[in-house]
A = this chain, B = another copy of it.
Amino acid sequence: MSVLIVGSIAFDTIITPFDNRKRLLGGACIYGSLACSLFCKPFIIGVVGKDFKDSHFNFLRKKGIDTSGIVKVNGKTFFWKGRYNYDMKTRQSLKTDLNVFENFNPEISNKHKNLPFLFLANIDPELQLKILNSMNNLKFSICDTMDYWIKNSKKNLMKVLKKVNCVVLNDEEIREFSGSFDLIKGAKFIQKIGPEYVIIKKGEYGASIFGPDFYFSIPSYPVENVIDPTGAGDTFGGAFIGYIAKHNKINKKIIKNAIAYANTIASFTVEDFGINKLSKITILDIKKRINKLKQIVIF
């Protein structure tokens, strides 16, 4: 089964207290589709500038990613430069040049409209809504968002939430959106708006999901050397939908395993800069960690 992934494609300059890298291939769409490609075929919709090379396209295609929805236009690709603090969690954005991403408003082709699975990465909810309204055969859709949209586009975000099956948020986003400091109350509040599934990403603490009739929570796979946390959340989203699409079934067992796999695959992403490690791992590497994770939580 195939997955449509819509979001940013970027070059990231990343500074940590220990090291730095310049102009790495990044953006939610890239992390998401690489993670998804471990399970099934992702179709990207995104926009890039003239600085996006054939080698980048070739790299993605070799990973089995359909890049026909990437539009190349005059201008530069979205560029982000950020510095992580010593906690390797909080960060400052030093530069955010939206460039060609500023006017991102893709036409959805017929090929894309008929895909059964959809991951809407963190983009303007208005755009998320447009894409959702274009889809003809959706089986399962998931959206990400951020504090900026919760504060400034809540109306449109509400409309998105009425349409998607699942939303992925972190603690602060749930609190911001629901107005409740209690995460459980907050998640239930959001479920009532629409999505049957509300995922709470907790970073180093793992992830939880509120389903229609169950609650599942899992600690993160223990990573001793966090090199660069960029893209962990997008990896999570892409792996989650990829796992579901591969099994082409939605039930408690599949959803729980999708969370466990998504969580585990994100643990690889943070072990090197950018997509370095994510683009090298195999299903065998992942299964080894999954088996360890099962041992970690069983009692």
Contact = CB atoms under 8 A, between A and B. Distances in A.
How many subunits of this chain does the assembly comprise?
2
Contact of A181 (B86, B183, B206): B86
Interface string A219-231: 1001111100000
A256 to B, nearest CB: 4
A253 B295 CA distance: 11
A87 B171 CA distance: 11
Contacts of A214: 295
A178 to B, nearest CB: 13
Nearest to A175: B87
Interface string A196-219: 000000101110100000111111
Contacts of A226: 182
A256 B219 CA distance: 14
Interface string A53-94: 000000000000000000000000000000000111000000
A184 interface: yes
A130 interface: no
A21 interface: no
A294 interface: yes
The A interface is mostly helix, strand or loop, or mixed, namely mixed
A296 B206 CA distance: 13
6 contacts: A182-B224, A185-B224, A260-B299, A297-B297, A297-B298, A298-B298
B181 A87 contact: yes
Contacts of A298: 256, 297-298
A133 to B, nearest CB: 34
B219 A296 contact: no
B296 A215 contact: yes
Given A181-B88, A202-B205, A299-B294, A222 B215 contact: yes
A259 interface: yes
